[in-house]
């Protein structure tokens, strides 16, 4: 695993966000969690990145992103980008 930084935009009321956070923790992936409830202005950043209002938005070190990924989609993308 590298020191690559992943950013996850989400909210603790969102089951998909909690699931993605849990997977990143399980895989020991360092990530920056941006809580959109605590910092609502960051929702504009997440929407600008994804072009959607859906969360979670997971931004990978290579600049690519996923919106509402399944665990398998997130795992595959982490492997493709060399995070794991």
Model pTM? 0.93
**14-to-8, 37, 60 alpha-carbon distances in Å:** 12, 11, 20
Tell me how crowded residue 56 is: count the other CB atoms within 10 A of its CB: 27
Domain 6-80 in CATH 3.40.630.40? The answer is no
User: Which pLDDT score is estimated for 2?
Assistant: 47
pLDDT tens for the chain, 84 residues long, are 445 599 999 999 999 999 999 999 999 999 999 999 999 999 999 999 999 999 999 999 999 999 999 999 999 999 999 999
């Amino acid at each position: 695993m590298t020191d690559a930084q992943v950013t996850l935009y989400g909210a603790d009321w969102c089951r998909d966000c909690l699931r993605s956070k849990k997977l990143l923790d399980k895989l020991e992936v360092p990530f920056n969690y941006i809580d959109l409830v605590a910092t609502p202005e960051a929702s504009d950043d997440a929407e600008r990145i994804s072009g959607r209002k859906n969360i979670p938005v997971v931004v990978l070190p290579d600049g690519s992103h996923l919106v509402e990924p399944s665990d398998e989609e997130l795992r595959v993308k982490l492997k493709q980008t060399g995070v794991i």
